Amino acid sequence: MAESGAHSPLLAVRGITKRFPGVLALDEVSLILQKGEVHALVGENGAGKSTLIKIIGGVLQPDSGTFEFDGKSLSHLDPHTAQQLGISIIHQESELASTLSVAENLCLGRLPRSAGLFLAHRRMHAEARTWLSRVGAEFATRTLVRDLSISDRRLLELARAISRDAKLVIMDEPTTVFTEREVQQMFRIIRDLRSTGVAILYISHRLEEVFAIADRVTVLRDGRTMASCEIGQTTEDQLVRWMVGRELKRVFPSRARKPGAETFSVRDLTRQGKIHGVSFSLREGEIVGLAGLVGAGRTDVANAIFGATALDRGEILLGGKRVRISSPKDAIRHGIGYITADRKLDGLLLSKSVKENISLASLPQLSRFGFIQWRKERAEAHRYKELLQIKTPGIHELVMNLSGGNQQKAVFARWLLVHAKVLILDEPTVGIDVGTKQEIYRLINSIAEEGRCVLLISSELPEVLGMCDRILVMQKGRVTRELSRDEATQEEILYYSAGLREAAPRTS
């Protein structure tokens, strides 16, 4: 950490309080960041992290408290002023313009002009290449953002942040779907920024990352500052106790592992340029992991099974019988559920209620003569709210107002209500705090114990290793290896994910 900032903090917020109707979001929170420091901000979903970030970025105004930045006391802050001061935020949900090019996104709001009138295309792309090289990005500046992978979009957002002469970069869950290699690349960039005096406020639920990259850590719980200390002065167990107010003795809960008969299988799934001859099966009560690097084809396989994308060839079998799935509606009718990686973009109707999101896939069963049976719908939504302990004022609350973990529980409730026999989970704990993760893991186990099949896609290798009975490793659209629970290790998975070992016969 840079010594020059030891006595003159870059950012100092003290006694920040923020109230919303019926909710005390922040209760006299304080946070001090030094120049050239990586400062981790951790806490459960709903702890107040997002509210604090919005206040620092000028999106929200505090009810009370003081704010200083780079030695100046500020009475009012708005997003434009925050950006001028050198505060850049990389949000968990991308804020890039998907229909514009990489260069246009990088220079948005300050596009170079010729003679003050015409867009200087060459200069724009040259500047974009310069900033992309700073973060190790290798994609073309003319590429449309919608064609970039999630990890490449993260790099683009980081390049845009530093191109604006940022003094403070706030990163909200920057590595949610990164592979280990991509995480290390991000860490190298963060260390380079730190060496130039840039401060990083790093928000993450991955505590192993916090200990790997942070100089200091601040913990929020229920809108209050629970602790703030040098990272070397605490432990992962202590952070968890500060975050959740209790000790989590076992992250991955145990369960009876007694897979039954084969009930679901796919054969030779092929989609040009995406997946090539993928075959595997699932048994009753079994959790099978699908591992691999981002872009390996895991989500493409899930989309194909669920009927969201078309196949060139291949077949899907349920109970040994071939079924035709050409749309998500067909998949649901056959008892296949799918929790997507991006719950806000693909999984939820954010402007609808908790009740409506839970009942979405079950409307035919909840209807009579073409009309929804409102009383039955309310009863089922309330039952699953209680069963999954979804924290919400009521089933009529808009789902956008729930924390990330409770939004994810609402999506799980949807597929439990529809009684899905096969459940595909794509990054089911992304952006979820450690306490809620444990609840999700227990829920997944209970689904398997009921005899349902689970296909678990995750970029978190400890999650795959801790939850799955078997693991299928994908690389470039192919299954390159099947590993049993006993033989699987992070090293084995990484070797086959990166293509460092040749494909081997499956073990079962």
Q: Per-domain residue ranges for the chain?
A: 1-86+199-247, 253-335+421-502, 342-419
| pLDDT at 224 exceeding the cut of 60 | yes
Residue 97 has what pLDDT? 85
Distance CA 413, CA 474 (A): 29
User: Fold match between 1-86+199-247 and 253-335+421-502?
Assistant: yes
How sure is the predictor about 501, in pLDDT bands with cuts at 50, 70 and 90?
low
DSSP β-ladder status, 453-457 and 287-292: parallel
User: Any residues with CB less than 8 A from the CB of 169 and at least 6 apart, and which?
Assistant: 88, 89, 90, 158, 161, 162, 193, 198, 199, 200, 201
Q: What are the backbone dihedrals phi and psi of residue 46, each rounded to the nearest 5 degrees, phi first?
A: 90, 5
Would you tell me how many other CB atoms lie within 10 Å of the CB of residue 115?
A: 6
Q: What is the mean pLDDT of residues 348-357?
A: 91
Is residue 508 very low, low, confident or very high in pLDDT (cuts 50, 70, 90)? Answer: very low
Asked if residues 258 and 285 have their Cβ atoms less than 8 Å apart, the reply is yes
% of the chain surpassing 90 pLDDT: 51
Q: What does the DSSP assignment read for 376-424? A: HHHHHHHHHHHHTT--SS-TTSBGGGS-HHHHHHHHHHHHHHTT-SEEE
Closest CA to 169 of 80, 81, 83, 60: 83
Nearest to 395 by CA among 363, 440, 356, 360: 356
From the options 2.102.10.10, 3.40.50.300, 1.10.1240.10, 1.10.150.20, give the CATH code of 253-335+421-502: 3.40.50.300
User: In this predicted structure, what is the pLDDT of residue 506?
Assistant: 45
> What is the pTM assigned to this prediction?
0.68
Q: Which two tokens stand for residue 182?
A: 């991509």
Mean pLDDT of 271-296: 92
* CB neighbour burial string for 56-65, b if at least 16 within 10 angstroms, e if fewer: bbbebebeeb
Q: Tell me how far CA of residue 161 lies from CA of 158, 176, 238, 466, in angstroms.
A: 5, 19, 33, 36
Q: List the CATH code of the domain at 1-86+199-247.
A: 3.40.50.300
Please say whether the beta carbons of 271 and 304 come within 8 A: yes
The per-residue pLDDT for 2 is 42
pLDDT value of residue 39:
97
Structure confidence at residue 1 as a pLDDT band (50, 70, 90): very low
Please give the average per-residue pLDDT across 268-294, as a whole number.
93
pLDDT tens digits, one per residue of 149-178: 777 888 898 888 888 788 999 998 888 767
* Residue 4 predicted with pLDDT over 50: no
Read off the pLDDT of residues 308-348 as tens digits, 9 standing for 90 and up: 999 999 999 999 999 999 999 999 999 999 999 888 777 88
Interval 360-381: pLDDT, tens: 989 888 888 888 899 999 999 9
* pLDDT for the residue numbered 494: 81
